[in-house]
Structure 1
Amino acid sequence: MRILTILIFILISKTALSQSGKSDTINATFINQTLVFDGKLTEAIWQSAPVIKNFTQKELDFGKPSTELTKVAIAYDKLALYVGVWCFQKTKTIHAKYMQRDFIYEEDDNFQVALSPFSDRRNGYLFIINPNGARADLLISGNESANKDWNGVWDVRTSITNEGWFAEIRIPFNSLQFRNDSIHLWSVNFERNIRSKNEQVLWQGWTRDCSIYCLVNAGVLKGLRNIGYAKRFELKPYGLGSFDKRNHNPTDWTGKIGADLNANLTPTLKLNVTANTDFAQVESDRIAVNLTRFNLFYPEKREFFLEGYQNYQFYLGNSNELFYTRKIGIENFKSVPVIAGARVFGKMGANNIGLLSIETGKRDTVPATNNTVIRYKRDIGSQSYIGAIVTSKINSDLSNQVAGIDGAFSTSRFLTNKNLVIGGLFSRSFDKNKSGDGAYAWRVFADYPNDLIDNFIGLSSVQENFNPELGFLNRKNFDNLSWFFRFTPRWFTNLGIRKMYFRPWGFDLFRTHTSGKVESFLNESRPLGFFTKSGERFEYNLYQQYERLDHPFHLTDSIAIPSGKYWMHRMEIQLGSFQGRRIWADANYAWGDFYSGKINTLETSMGINVNKHFNLRTDYTYNNIRLLEGAVNTHELAQYINMAVNPRLNLTMFVQWNSLDDLLFGNFRLHWIPNVGSDIYVVYNRGYNKLDNLKFNRPDVSSGAAKLVWRFTF
């Protein structure tokens, strides 16, 4: 036993060295002249500015210098920060499939800039570019958490020569939040991904136990002096024309105007005000085939709610959220008008603040409603916090409030440089004319998320009467034990294997809180899995599942699974090719028990890159279900087509077919960015129900909109 303990400690501590370069500081140069923003880096300032080029491999050859030269320099003027990037490599090895906003950067050569103007080394921004000038951006809110749906106001220009590809990035100070100091020290890090080699290099913090999200491992940006918000206000008025026709009803024509106002109350505290808000341009959700008795969770995509979202988070575990922004403006699966609202979010010293109040209007039987959230978090140490939240939903039919407290101890220095998080929360809901019995929820957990070993264990409970009207509950009246263990050693590397992927267990155990009886159990074991150096993957998985149904579960309109106790066992094989190639494919096949019978499931995905202007992706899922109560085959098809004229003009088409819900739906979306921060959208939706009687020229839903959003700063 002592020998085993020593071996495990050696494995864990093998890479327990600080992954920081000797030069961990980059100096910014102030410029007076106007830069020619073309991505060529030919101006004198780029030739004289201090550069950093000490990039180190995270993959594939850990700790070795980058095989391709990468250089970065930073300049600034009174309005913006500029990042100059030199990515040297042979032109024929450059992989760049996409041009559109929010491109799939995991499939392309890319360069990433992580920036934490707060210098709290926990919250920040991530700006990502590719050789075609495509842009993506994220809000970082922890070592493992980032919001991909946020869209900041910034720009990039790129150029490609026979020496490689080069870029100029412009980030207006108005787009960032930072302290009001005369001299600034910001946290910054850089990452480059070279897809032809599957090579990933970073300037600082190239540990495999953490990604570029780990701002605690970032370097230092020096030299910024006397910067501020030359323009404190951002006004984004919009005009909209739309139509909506459903079934045989007359066409509803609508004209609408509204506006969002953003004001920097302080350099780190921001106010958003919205009036007559509209979300017609938001991308459509993919309606998945649901073979469970629980609701599906859909992510937020509306811009107003995305920036600063980390200031409002309160995660209950098991896909449950105490505050879920999609509960605002949507009632009974139908949209309701957002009359007006305001948010204040940001930091004041070590205090993280999120205030929100939105008034929604009356529609049909849904009354006008006030939705309010107050969230507070206090930074403790370098990565830990304590916090509290209050949510409130009030209208003529209900009055619901929820209060909660939470906290977490987090460190990236456990066993020298390993990640460890220990946290907990407690909350209670309050409903008018209802007692508080059984209206509590709590959670405690410990997480060791690292490259070789990832181990998570958590206990949680949501009682029967806990009712977060502004939240999302996948289920209620449960006690839960979750324990996931993953082991990914770097074995057989001489055979082309990047790392093995074993999962001895990963289970969720639910029992009914009021009775103490086991309700659900799901365990996933992975006796064999691996990733290759060329980007392919393989998994062989075993599933054990138990479900206790106290009431019949309607799988379809004609098939109801009777109440009872069901043990199910399934096996699964997953195969995937490297998605950085021009043509790639994934396939998963699973078979085994499903309640009173059997199920076979095939999931496939394929991507085709015709050129940088035209990309296709097809996802298809097939289920063959044979039960004592009947048989059913389900089909789910999702077709994505993206045509990008340039990085500012693209057309996306999304068509989905769901046989279980008997629907066919298409979403067509034209997005033009005439100026960064301003947008023009043209959207058309067309949908069909009851496909047995499909008549293409008679859709059940036909709607469209044209929307202009223009940005003014002052």
Structure 2
Amino acid sequence: MKNVILSLMWLVISQAAAFAQFEMPAETPTIHIHRTGQKILIDGELNDAVWQEQERAGTFWQYFPMDSSSAKGQTELRMTYDDQFLYVGIRCETTGDEFVVSSLKRDYSFSAADNITLVFDTYSDQNNAFVFGMNPYGVQREALIANGGRIRNDFVSSWDNKWYGEAVKHPGYWTAEFAIPFKTLRFKEGSTEWRFNCYRNDTQHNEWSTWHPIPRNFLTMDLGFMGRIVWDEPLRKPGANISVIPYVNVGMARDFEDPTEQRPDWNLGIGGDAKVALSSALNLDLTVNPDFSQVEVDQQVTNLDRFEVFFPERRQFFLENADLFGSFGQTRNNPFFSRRIGIAVDTSTGLNVLNPIYYGARLSGKLHERLRVGLLNMQSAPLEQSGLPSFNYTVAALQQQVYSRSNLSFIFVNKSAVNKDDYQGDFSAFNRVAGLEYRLATPDNRWKGKFYYHRAFTPDKQDHQFAQGGQIEYQRRRYRLEWAHNVVGNGFDAEVGFVPRRDYILMSPEFQLFFFPKSGIFNQHSINVDTRFFLQIGKDGNTIIPEYGLSERQTEISWEFQFKNNTRGTINLQEDDLTLLADFDPTRLQEDGVVLPAGSDYHFFSLNGEYTSDQRKKIFYTLEPNIGQFYNGFIAGMGGSLNFRYQPYGAIALNYSYNYVELDAPFRPASIWLVGPRIDLTFSKKVFLTTFIQYNNQLDNLNINARFQWRFQPVSDFFLVYTDNYLTDPRQPFGVRNRSLVAKVTYWLNL
């Protein structure tokens, strides 16, 4: 490994001069917006007289393939507004009319389609923004950006809200009109200026472009690079803003593995949400008897690791201002994970079970331009059969902006049992976590990081009930340096958080070099070296490493590359050196208690990669091969996806993962399969059908999920959802485990 690192360092030094130069504009791009009293017909054409009177903003800059010149396909922006709406008119120049879109379904992927995206930092805090986008077929998307848009997880595409738009295709260009209600946005009353940027994917030029230029080593959604909107007069409060979203559903379900259930259980559900704008910057969300049956199922993953897998939140109620509650800590240590609400652990089986929610309320937004506040309270139902009482969840969060982009944050999480004496299950009467964090981000985007301390409070008052950590990153165009560490005590029991591992110290230095060749087949590439050291603290009663000892070391060397033809890939060499602290079956398929024993040591190397073809093509694919040593044996596999797009009416995808694992006796060789065909049909911009099948032999399960959606009004839907789960064990192939069918109607009503 040492020789490999030295060789890569020589490669880095020998090519360090191959860079194109990026220059920031001398003046910040600015568009002045003027009020209109004229009515605008939102049809995608820019032929209303009002558009001819507005200031035009242009001169877009390339982001891909280069970031040092103006865009080949230019874009022109115009804006105006009235008491109710912000209007945006856009003209996108290109070379023809062979536009690429993934389908007619809302919330498409930016990178796979012609489209334009608007980003509004309404508080000019460089931390949060609203996103609205459209493609040449008039298909819409909206999202939220949190934490400055510094990493991809800061982009929340599941957010849904009401706005209007249309687009029209023309030979050599396309036009679009946006009408965004001020009630959909959050902003300070009396504002005279917002920060704004716009980015576009032009597939015919194979070009990404932005209004305010952005260096290629940052993301297009990074809020550190934005222009300005200057209003002709201070913004007024948009008036009463109360929305009610009731729902009614009817469904049937049957658990075939429960011998007491001889027929389907039919149920009728009524409930809904309400949104009340207490001010233009502060919102109250209420929910009664919430139902999440229409939420898209998670895409399963093969788990060869020792710890729990993270799946993101998809439920609409928890998404707006989710970063205010959920961005504390780090990936391996998060004190609040909203998916814990509505899920409980059956104390008799140790398995997760659904826990219905009675009601919930969330207050979130800004008290003033530099102080955000969040209060969340949810009440779950008791689970009599599992011996669990009703639980109340309360979360309070504050975020004070300091300096230009940094902030100081506080969080308090409380889970408490209601009427606990009436239940005999094994549960805690309460579980609480308090935490303080400082998040750093400099105006020039060179420095960013965070430092935090969290403390848990439980009835048993364990030792080491804390988690502490930090991360600091310095980035220039040619390189990036990062240091991260965290310490998680054995007593840090955050029941409403995501803490898959405790009683350890992690230290992780990382170094990355970027290359932007002026010629050749590569658009850009980088070399990354990341090392992780895990030290066991020794307070968990484990006798293998009783006190402060190195339990695990990982070294990862990656080469990431992107070609000028829009394909990209990664090659990754990894070394693992570890001591198992508990018995472990990496395959999760062995019988008769066959495991790798606690206390055993392993040192192994593996090689994996990823290659993604040009997503502009009707057929595109991803390949993810892996091969190498694995504990005391061998692993080889292939994963990825194969995609076919029938534009614009849908797509067929096959996601797959196969791993062959062979370990020393008494382990049996294991073939681990995960296959997931998916069919997305979009009959129009309002009618969709998605069928997702997932075969997973690690879980001994075949899941079928079909979801029909008819959006009959903006943000108002009819859903029909069918779900089936089957056993895949050869001794009982395709035995039905459970089955459900749900019909649901939601309607967004503005009061």
* Structure-2-length-normalised TM-score: 0.89
Aligned counterpart in structure 2 of residue 525 of structure 1, from 541, 551, 557: 557
Aligned counterpart in structure 2 of residue 583 of structure 1, from 619, 637, 641: 619
8 Å contact 1:184–1:223 — kept in the other structure? Answer: yes
In structure 2, the residue matched to 1:711 is 748
Cα deviation, residue 484, structure 1: 2.3
8 Å contact 1:97–1:582 — kept in the other structure? Answer: no
Q: Distance in 1 between matches of 2:569 and 2:314?
A: 32
**2:80 equivalent to 1:88:** no
Aligned counterpart in structure 1 of residue 736 of structure 2, from 699, 704, 713: 699
8 Å contact 2:253–2:739 — kept in the other structure? Answer: yes
**2:463 equivalent to 1:437:** yes
Superposition map of 1:365-514 within 5 A: 365-395=387-417, 396=420, 397=427, 398-413=429-444, 418-432=445-459, 434-491=460-517, 493-503=518-528, 505-514=529-538
| 1:617 aligned counterpart, secondary structure | strand
Q: Cα deviation per residue 1:304-357 (whole Å; 9 max; x = unaligned)?
A: 000110111343224321100001011122211110111011112211111101
Cα deviation, residue 408, structure 1: 2.2
Aligned counterpart in structure 2 of residue 297 of structure 1, from 296, 306, 310: 310
8 Å contact 1:439–1:467 — kept in the other structure? Answer: yes
| 1:310 aligned counterpart, secondary structure | helix
Deviates more, 1:120-129 or 1:701-710: 120-129
Deviates more, 1:683-692 or 1:400-409: 683-692
Q: Distance in 2 between matches of 1:329 and 1:313?
A: 16
In structure 2, the residue matched to 1:148 is 157
Q: Distance in 2 between matches of 1:148 and 1:214?
A: 15
Q: Distance in 1 between matches of 2:443 and 2:18?
A: 14
In structure 2, the residue matched to 1:198 is 206
Using a 3 Å threshold, how does the CA distance of structure 1 residues 547 and 315 change in structure 2: closer, same or farther? Answer: farther
Q: Distance in 2 between matches of 1:324 and 1:318?
A: 11
Q: Distance in 2 between matches of 1:290 and 1:548?
A: 19
8 Å contact 1:289–1:661 — kept in the other structure? Answer: no
One-letter identity of the residue aligned with 2:182: F
Deviates more, 1:544-553 or 1:620-629: 544-553
In structure 2, the residue matched to 1:594 is 630
One-letter identity of the residue aligned with 2:436: I
> Root-mean-square deviation (CA), in Å?
2.1
Superposition map of 1:113-192 within 5 A: 113-141=118-146, 142-144=148-150, 145-181=154-190, 183-192=191-200
Using a 3 Å threshold, how does the CA distance of structure 1 residues 224 and 153 change in structure 2: closer, same or farther? Answer: farther
Q: Cα deviation per residue 1:592-648 (whole Å; 9 max; x = unaligned)?
A: 111121110111211111221021111111111111122110111111211112222
8 Å contact 1:355–1:373 — kept in the other structure? Answer: yes
| 2:515 aligned counterpart, secondary structure | coil
Superposition map of 1:184-333 within 5 A: 184-223=192-231, 225=233, 226-247=235-256, 249=261, 250-332=263-345, 333=352
**2:84 equivalent to 1:71:** no
8 Å contact 1:21–1:204 — kept in the other structure? Answer: no
Q: Distance in 2 between matches of 1:87 and 1:463?
A: 54
Q: Distance in 1 between matches of 2:36 and 2:729?
A: 63
Cα deviation, residue 155, structure 1: 2.5
One-letter identity of the residue aligned with 2:141: A
Cα deviation, residue 128, structure 1: 2.0
**2:592 equivalent to 1:561:** no
Cα deviation, residue 246, structure 1: 1.4
One-letter identity of the residue aligned with 2:687: L
Cα deviation, residue 546, structure 1: 2.0
Cα deviation, residue 108, structure 1: 0.5
Cα deviation, residue 552, structure 1: 1.6
Cα deviation, residue 230, structure 1: 2.8
Superposition map of 1:337-376 within 5 A: 337-349=356-368, 350-363=370-383, 364=385, 365-376=387-398
8 Å contact 2:627–2:637 — kept in the other structure? Answer: yes
| 2:183 aligned counterpart, secondary structure | helix
Query: Percent identity of the aligned residues?
Result: 24
One-letter identity of the residue aligned with 1:254: N
In structure 2, the residue matched to 1:550 is 581
Superposition map of 1:30-49 within 5 A: 30-49=35-54
Structure 1: stretches of 5+ with no match in the other structure: none
Using a 3 Å threshold, how does the CA distance of structure 1 residues 495 and 87 change in structure 2: closer, same or farther? Answer: same
In structure 1, the residue matched to 2:348 is none
Q: Distance in 2 between matches of 1:605 and 1:451?
A: 32
8 Å contact 1:26–1:51 — kept in the other structure? Answer: yes
**2:662 equivalent to 1:642:** no
Q: Distance in 1 between matches of 2:475 and 2:189?
A: 35
Using a 3 Å threshold, how does the CA distance of structure 1 residues 162 and 285 change in structure 2: closer, same or farther? Answer: same
| 2:409 aligned counterpart, secondary structure | strand
8 Å contact 1:12–1:452 — kept in the other structure? Answer: no
Q: Distance in 2 between matches of 1:214 and 1:614?
A: 31
Q: Distance in 2 between matches of 1:400 and 1:572?
A: 41
Q: Cα deviation per residue 1:129-186 (whole Å; 9 max; x = unaligned)?
A: 21122222221111312222212222321110113111111211111111111x5311
Structure 2: stretches of 5+ with no match in the other structure: 1-9, 346-351, 421-426, 539-546
8 Å contact 2:376–2:394 — kept in the other structure? Answer: yes
8 Å contact 1:664–1:691 — kept in the other structure? Answer: no
Q: Cα deviation per residue 1:175-205 (whole Å; 9 max; x = unaligned)?
A: 1111111x53111111111123331111114
Deviates more, 1:574-583 or 1:158-167: 574-583
One-letter identity of the residue aligned with 2:407: Y
Q: Distance in 1 between matches of 2:712 and 2:564?
A: 41
Cα deviation, residue 694, structure 1: 5.6
| 1:106 aligned counterpart, secondary structure | helix
In structure 1, the residue matched to 2:541 is none
Q: Distance in 2 between matches of 1:565 and 1:520?
A: 10
8 Å contact 1:87–1:166 — kept in the other structure? Answer: yes
Cα deviation, residue 569, structure 1: 0.6
Q: Distance in 1 between matches of 2:52 and 2:22?
A: 38
| 1:45 aligned counterpart, secondary structure | helix
Structure 1 or 2: more strand by fraction = 1
Q: Cα deviation per residue 1:257-277 (whole Å; 9 max; x = unaligned)?
A: 112111111111110111111
| 2:326 aligned counterpart, secondary structure | coil
Cα deviation, residue 15, structure 1: 4.8
* Structure-1-length-normalised TM-score: 0.94
| 2:519 aligned counterpart, secondary structure | helix
Cα deviation, residue 480, structure 1: 0.2
Q: Cα deviation per residue 1:93-114 (whole Å; 9 max; x = unaligned)?
A: 4222321011122101111100
Q: Distance in 2 between matches of 1:196 and 1:547?
A: 50
One-letter identity of the residue aligned with 2:78: A
